[in-house]
């Protein structure tokens, strides 16, 4: 931050995905922007995202792929800055990319290219960036926001909160956005870890012995279902299907797993007719990883040849395999959560601009807002889109 006071049009707190994008958009509109972060470099979560390749957007972005207290809130911003818009930016910078699966776009090279691109965009907008700059206090008087840091006090008529959520605290993530929002009278929807592995205890804990085994499943909680891989871990359940379902799961609820989503409902009865001498364990071993097949077969306790088992028992076993209910006792928490669900209540924000309805000049964008995407590039797309909405308005 320059030592001589500079008249800024906007101060953006947090140089992550949303803050960088918002600064670039506002700067390129001719606004004088200061971007502050307490971390020693910008975009740290971008750098580790997507296994270092940054799953920067998803071609199937749509409002129904986001959780929020108001399912309509994200519509406006997402429609005005689309996955194709971000992709066009990536292509202008010559960054090679590929679609991995399910519309998920990744860099061929490195997530560093995305951070470099955003910094270049900020430079085009003459944005002042100050990293390693903790924020001591924010006040508001006479239509101006004053941000007090060890390097001095910066002042502007617009303040954008882009400090994200508390997931992965060891990377410098904090709940600062919520504290600041509350300071200005905004409500916060109870934050909770999302896209996070679930932990198992009690009888379910036996499945932790399968650590490292995965299966293509349908995971379910309530009416929400995801078809992807599930992975057993030494603490419980992970893998994309579980991470997705974790965002919808609440303490005390079960998670149902269909271990055989491609098998017909009468699979076991048909097998009994066609191969009466075979066993359930043998059949399961042909369909699933051996250790998983053995675990399920042991729990179902049907060791006899299928021909000697009553149809009723086989139908019950099949029903259980199609909806095997685990009762997670918790999640691995913010330490392992890819995002934070909940956050600044959308009821207090304009969906057009992200400005607080009751606090002129105060904006909240990105993960800090109560809008949480599915796994697969949706969260970055929300960061870009909400940042664009505010960047066009400040
Ligand atoms: P973000 O967290 O990016 O930025 C917040 C910034 O504020 C940080 O720079 C932080 O240092 C700063 N800050 C925090 N507290 C502060 C304070 N008190 N004072 C000053 N500065 C402060 N999403 C996706 O779409 N595709 C993917 O591939 C991945 N992969 C992924 C992997 C891992 C391991 C994680 C943890 C997360 C992902 N995500 C993801 C989620 C994605 O990283 C996340 O949704 C966005 O980074 C959110 O962008 P924001 O700018 O809102 O917050």
Q: What pLDDT, on a 0 to 100 scale, did the predictor assign at position 301?
A: 94
Instruction: Give the residue from 292, 330, 325 showing the smallest Cα distance to 203.
Output: 325
The pTM assigned to this predicted structure is: 0.97
Q: What pLDDT, on a 0 to 100 scale, did the predictor assign at position 7?
A: 87
Question: Looking at the predicted structure, is the pLDDT value of residue 6 above 90?
Answer: no
How far away, in angstroms, is 383 Cα from ligand 1 center? Answer: 9
How far away, in angstroms, is 207 Cα from ligand 1 center? Answer: 32
CATH tag, 6-192+340-391: 3.50.50.60
**What does residue 392 show for φ and ψ, rounded to 5 degrees?**
-75, -15
- Nearest ligand 1 atom, CA 337: 36
Q: Region 100-127: what's the mean pLDDT? A: 98
Q: What pLDDT, on a 0 to 100 scale, did the predictor assign at position 1?
A: 55
Which SS3 state, helix, strand or coil, does residue 171 take?
A: helix
Question: Looking at the predicted structure, is the pLDDT value of residue 4 above 90?
Answer: no
Residue nearest to atom 9 of ligand 1 (CA): 16
- Nearest ligand 1 atom, CA 43: 9
What is the CB < 6 Å shell around ligand 1? 13-19, 37-39, 44-45, 48-50, 54-55, 134-135, 162-164, 167-168, 172-174, 176, 338-339, 366-368, 377-380, 383
Question: Structure tokens of 126?
Answer: 């003459």
Number of other residues whose CB lies within 10 A of the CB of residue 354: 34
Least confident of 102-106, 202-206, 268-272: 202-206
Question: Structure tokens of 159?
Answer: 């303040």
For residue 263, with 0-12 CB atoms within 10 Å meaning exposed, 13-18 middle and 19 or more buried, which class applies? middle
Number of other residues whose CB lies within 10 A of the CB of residue 91: 11
Question: Structure tokens of 211?
Answer: 């650590």
Which SS3 state, helix, strand or coil, does residue 202 take?
A: helix
How far away, in angstroms, is 45 Cα from ligand 1 center? Answer: 5
Among 1, 13, 14, which residue has the most ligand 1 atoms within 8 Å of its CB, making it the best to mutate? Answer: 14
How far away, in angstroms, is 251 Cα from ligand 1 center? Answer: 25
Residue nearest to atom 8 of ligand 1 (CA): 16
For residue 146, with 0-12 CB atoms within 10 Å meaning exposed, 13-18 middle and 19 or more buried, which class applies? middle
Pick the CATH number of 198-331 from 3.40.1010.10, 2.40.30.10, 3.40.50.10490, 2.30.30.240: 2.40.30.10
Q: What is the DSSP string of 336-387?
A: T-SEEEEEE-GGGB-TTT-BBTTSTTEEE-GGGBS-EEPSSSHHHHHHHHHH
Three-point CA angle 98, 100, 103, nearest 5°: 90
How far away, in angstroms, is 164 Cα from ligand 1 center? Answer: 6
* Residue that is written with structure tokens 């090679």 in the block: 96
Q: Which helix (H) or strand (E) holds 109?
A: none
- Nearest ligand 1 atom, CA 171: 11
How far away, in angstroms, is 268 Cα from ligand 1 center? Answer: 47
Spatial strand order in the sheet of 158-161: 128-130, 33-36, 10-13, 158-161, 362-364
- Nearest ligand 1 atom, CA 387: 51
What does pLDDT average to over the chain? Answer: 96
Whole-number Cα distances in Å, 56 to 18, 121, 156, 220, 285 = 12, 16, 31, 26, 38
Task: Report H helices in the chain.
Answer: 17-28, 44-48, 75-80, 83-92, 112-124, 176-183, 240-246, 267-274, 280-287, 290-300, 311-322, 378-391
Question: Structure tokens of 393?
Answer: 């308005």
Residue pLDDT, tens place only, 166-225:
999 998 899 999 999 999 999 999 999 999 999 999 989 889 999 999 999 999 999 999
Among 131, 163, 374, which residue has the most ligand 1 atoms within 8 Å of its CB, making it the best to mutate? Answer: 163
Domain with CATH 2.40.30.10 in the chain: 198-331
Domain with CATH 3.50.50.60 in the chain: 6-192+340-391
Question: Structure tokens of 49?
Answer: 């995202």
Among 34, 61, 101, 338, which residue has the most ligand 1 atoms within 8 Å of its CB, making it the best to mutate? Answer: 338
Q: What pLDDT, on a 0 to 100 scale, did the predictor assign at position 5?
A: 61
For residue 3, with 0-12 CB atoms within 10 Å meaning exposed, 13-18 middle and 19 or more buried, which class applies? exposed
- HSE on the CB side for 2, CA within 13 Å? 11
Residues 6+ apart with CB under 8 A from 108: 53, 96, 97, 98
Question: Looking at the predicted structure, is the pLDDT value of residue 310 above 80?
Answer: yes
Residue 238 β-bridge partners: 231
Residue nearest to atom 29 of ligand 1 (CA): 49
Residue pLDDT, tens place only, 276-299:
999 999 999 999 999 999 999 999
How far away, in angstroms, is 339 Cα from ligand 1 center? Answer: 8
Residues 6+ apart with CB under 8 A from 356: 184, 186, 348, 349, 350, 362, 363, 364
Question: Looking at the predicted structure, is the pLDDT value of residue 377 above 60?
Answer: yes
Q: What pLDDT, on a 0 to 100 scale, did the predictor assign at position 223?
A: 95
* Residue that is written with structure tokens 């006040």 in the block: 139
Percent of the chain with pLDDT strictly greater than 90: 96
Instruction: Give the residue from 169, 170, 145 showing the smallest Cα distance to 159.
Output: 145
């Amino acid at each position: 931050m320059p030592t001589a006071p500079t008249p800024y049009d906007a101060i953006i707190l947090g140089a992550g995905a949303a803050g960088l994008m918002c600064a670039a958009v506002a700067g390129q509109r001719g606004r004088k922007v200061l971007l502050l972060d307490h971390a020693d470099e910008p975009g740290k979560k971008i750098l580790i995202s997507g296994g270092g390749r940054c799953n920067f957007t998803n071609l199937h972005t749509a409002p129904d792929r986001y959780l929020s207290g108001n399912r309509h809130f994200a519509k406006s911003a997402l429609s005005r800055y689309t996955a194709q818009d971000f992709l066009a930016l990536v292509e202008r910078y010559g960054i090679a990319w590929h679609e991995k699966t399910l519309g998920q776009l990744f860099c061929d090279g490195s997530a560093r290219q995305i951070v470099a691109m955003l910094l270049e965009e900020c430079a085009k907008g003459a944005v002042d960036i100050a990293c390693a700059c903790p924020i001591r206090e924010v006040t508001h008087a006479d239509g101006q926001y004053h941000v007090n840091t060890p390097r001095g006090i910066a002042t502007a008529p617009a303040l954008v909160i882009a400090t994200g959520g508390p997931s992965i605290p060891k990377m410098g993530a904090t709940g600062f956005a919520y504290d600041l929002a509350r300071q200005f009278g905004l409500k916060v929807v109870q934050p909770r870890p999302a896209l996070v592995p679930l932990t198992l205890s009690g009888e379910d804990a036996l499945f932790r012995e399968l650590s490292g085994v995965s299966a293509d499943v349908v995971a379910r909680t309530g009416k929400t279902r995801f078809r992807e891989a599930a992975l057993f871990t030494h603490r419980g359940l992970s893998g994309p299907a579980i991470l997705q379902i974790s965002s919808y799961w609440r303490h005390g609820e079960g998670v149902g797993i269909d271990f055989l989503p491609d098998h017909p409902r009468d699979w076991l009865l048909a097998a009994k007719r066609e191969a009466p001498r075979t066993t359930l364990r043998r059949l399961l071993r042909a369909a699933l990883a051996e250790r998983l097949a053995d675990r399920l077969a042991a729990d179902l306790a049907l060791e006899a040849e299928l021909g000697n088992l009553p149809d009723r028992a086989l139908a019950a076993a099949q029903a259980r395999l199609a909806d095997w209910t685990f009762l997670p006792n918790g999640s691995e928490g913010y330490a392992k959560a890819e995002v934070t669900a909940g956050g600044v209540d959308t009821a207090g924000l304009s969906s057009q601009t992200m400005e607080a309805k009751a606090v002129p000049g105060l904006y909240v964008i990105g993960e800090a807002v109560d809008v949480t995407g599915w796994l697969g590039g949706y969260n970055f797309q929300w960061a870009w889109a909400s940042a664009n909405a505010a960047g066009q308005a400040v």
